Amino acid sequence: MKLPILFLIDDDPQVLRALVRDVRQKYKQEYQILNTEDPEEAIESLRELKRSGEEVALFISDQRMPRLSGVELLERSKELYPEAKRMLLTAYSDTDTAIKAINEVDLDYYLLKPWDPPDERLYPIIDELLDDWHASYKPELAGIRLLGYQFSPKSHAIKEFLAGHLIPYQWLDVETNPKAQELLALNGLTPAALPAVLLEDGTVATNLEMRALAEKLGLRPTASSNMYDVVIIGAGPAGLAAAVYAGSEGLKTLLVEKHSPGGQAGTSSRIENYLGFPKGLSGSELTRRAVTQATRFGIEFLTPQEALDISSADQYKTVHLADGAEIHTRSIIITTGVAYRKLETKGISELTGAGVYYGAASVEAAQFRGKQVYVIGGGNSAGQAALHLSKFAERVHIVIRKKDLTSTMSSYLVEQIGRTENVEVVPETEVIEARGDGHLEKLVLRTGEANASIARAEALFILIGARPYTDWVQTSIMKDDRGFIMTGRDLRASESFNTGWKLKRDPFLLETCCPGIFAAGDVRAGAMNRVASAVGEGAMAVSFVHQYLAEV
């Protein structure tokens, strides 16, 4: 965390030197001590300090200075730092001015020069002022600040990106947060430039592509080498587990993720059925632990970076990345999981990101405090999302086509929903239209054969099942009729596989129809769609990689 600032201003270099010396002596461990002889320069630098999120705890200014008196300077400092304490250094002859300033500029103290000995005449006063300041000071979150409109899809995408990469940030809604308005003016930003990311070093980034933002934040979208033992594509639980095992077993490993690590599990507010966590753990916590573990074992992690295709020639494979780079590798594990199915209903695509969200979108939950929130979907992920949202929303309505949740949701979630007063299930119902001007305001619902009804809705979260992320694989990797990648013995059922497979052995359990290319987790036909099974398959895939590498 940045240390608060004590700002000392005196045009007399000798007095300023003495003041800086004495103040440093006692306060340098806990405060930054800034000083200047020029009062106008002091005002200039205040704007810069404010822009970069620094806090000033105390100003000590001399009264008699050319161009700007101490009282005037302290007055102007109030515009940017109203909470800071203000002390005026005066000569005996300026006492009247100082007394007047106590009322006029909220002066906290005037100190007659000289202040020797400081132990008696300076430090007790500064201590008292700083104690007061600390009592009312709420430290701002250090780090990145995101300024934007709540119902802006672009703001939503950046929030998801930052949260997905576990980067702490402060969200400032320019419509409701006065602090956001202040930062907008300070940085000379117009509403058209939003969303804007204010970085820790004071730079402001607007209209950023995720890739450019990633680079600014020090993430790594390009590989350091172009030959690996294994490239793992997708950093959900399966990919992260594969990376941990591959790294720990000495394989030169590259993990590529197009969005942010954690995959679907990363968006879960509480995973309750993962072995070893009896109280459950959040998806972001699981992701944080897994990324730390994998990088500790020396794997290389590229994010955000998308695999666009893979190709294979002899025993070498190539992964073609979105930035045009080609990465060569001896084996590949595909762990690209699934994407949410889109809801093709009137009004949904126009309002996506502006009150309508796919997935649990946990970064938005707190924005809907006291509001009417709808969830579409009857699976476990919809149940978890509804329970999480119920902590904020006035009421959460789970819209399902079936009569009840019992056939689609685990019983522990059905029970929890039954016990949660502000969650209701709306059975045999469909959302047939989303309406709103700039953001979601109403949903049109139809229950059974009844006439459509209109309900007030500030947010809609859609969790209606998934389709595999496999469109990108152009290479002749066999998929089932729903697009999931086929592996192992299941491949034998296909005639074209039997004629195309040239090895004497059968494909390994998680091997695709292309030797040395494996699939694990939800992307694989027949997967169990659980965090634990994805993790298990990721680990297993690495053992098959070893067996494959031993034979080529």
Please report, as ranges, the residues that interact with ligand FAD according to CB under 6 A: 233-239, 256-259, 263-265, 267-268, 271-273, 306-307, 335-338, 359-360, 380-381, 384-385, 469, 472, 521-523, 529-532, 534
Q: How far is the CB of 535 from ligand FAD (least distance, A)?
A: 8
Buried-exposed string 4-35: b where 16+ CB fall within 10 A, e elsewhere: bbbbbbbbeeebbebbbebbeeebeeebbebb
**Concatenated DSSP letters for 414-470?**
HHHHHH-TTEEEETTEEEEEEE-SSS--EEEEEETTSPPEEEE-SEEEE---EEES-
φ, ψ at 453 (rounded to 5°): -125, 155
Of 327 and 513, the one with the shorter C-beta distance to ligand FAD is 327
Burial (CB < 10 A; 0-12, 13-18, 19+), residue 134, is exposed
How far is 463 from 367, CA to CA, in rounded Å?
19
Of 110 and 484, the one with the shorter C-beta distance to ligand FAD is 484
Q: How far is the CB of 508 from ligand FAD (least distance, A)?
A: 18
Half-sphere CA count of 456, side-chain side, radius 13 A: 5
Q: Assign residue 307 a region (left: φ > 0; alpha: ψ between -120 and 50; beta: otherwise).
A: beta
Question: With contact defined as beta carbons under 8 Å apart, do 317 and 330 qualify?
Answer: yes
Of 63 and 336, the one with the shorter C-beta distance to ligand FAD is 336
How much helix, strand and coil, in percent to the nearest 5, is found in the chain?
35, 25, 40
Q: How far is the CB of 222 from ligand FAD (least distance, A)?
A: 14
Of 86 and 258, the one with the shorter C-beta distance to ligand FAD is 258
Question: Which residue type sits at 149?
Answer: Y
323 token code pair: 């930035």
Q: Assign residue 4 a region (left: φ > 0; alpha: ψ between -120 and 50; beta: otherwise).
A: beta
**Cα→Cα distances 461→228, 364, 372, 404, 522, Å:** 40, 10, 12, 19, 21
Q: How far is the CB of 212 from ligand FAD (least distance, A)?
A: 18
Q: How far is the CB of 287 from ligand FAD (least distance, A)?
A: 9
Question: With contact defined as beta carbons under 8 Å apart, do 80 and 54 qualify?
Answer: no
Question: With contact defined as beta carbons under 8 Å apart, do 518 and 511 qualify?
Answer: yes
Of 4 and 266, the one with the shorter C-beta distance to ligand FAD is 266
SS3 28: coil
Q: How far is the CB of 167 from ligand FAD (least distance, A)?
A: 16
**What angle, rounded to 10 degrees, do the helices at 39-51 and 70-80 form?**
10
Q: How far is the CB of 171 from ligand FAD (least distance, A)?
A: 21
Helix (H) or strand (E) holding 58, with range, is strand 56-62
Of 482 and 502, the one with the shorter C-beta distance to ligand FAD is 482
375 token code pair: 């969830």
Nearest of 56, 208, 82 to residue 144 by alpha carbon: 208
Burial (CB < 10 A; 0-12, 13-18, 19+), residue 93, is exposed
Q: How far is the CB of 521 from ligand FAD (least distance, A)?
A: 2
Q: How far is the CB of 438 from ligand FAD (least distance, A)?
A: 27
Q: How far is the CB of 375 from ligand FAD (least distance, A)?
A: 11
Of 307 and 425, the one with the shorter C-beta distance to ligand FAD is 307
Q: How far is the CB of 523 from ligand FAD (least distance, A)?
A: 6
Of 509 and 532, the one with the shorter C-beta distance to ligand FAD is 532
Tell me the chain's radius of gyration from C-alpha atoms.
30
Of 273 and 474, the one with the shorter C-beta distance to ligand FAD is 273
Of 357 and 548, the one with the shorter C-beta distance to ligand FAD is 357
Q: How far is the CB of 536 from ligand FAD (least distance, A)?
A: 11
Q: How far is the CB of 342 from ligand FAD (least distance, A)?
A: 15
**Concatenated DSSP letters for 376-428?**
E--SHHHHHHHHHHTTTSSEEEEE-SSS-STTTS-HHHHHHHHH-TTEEEETT
264 token code pair: 């679907």
Of 71 and 375, the one with the shorter C-beta distance to ligand FAD is 375
Of 131 and 309, the one with the shorter C-beta distance to ligand FAD is 309
Of 243 and 251, the one with the shorter C-beta distance to ligand FAD is 243
How far is 230 from 226, CA to CA, in rounded Å?
11
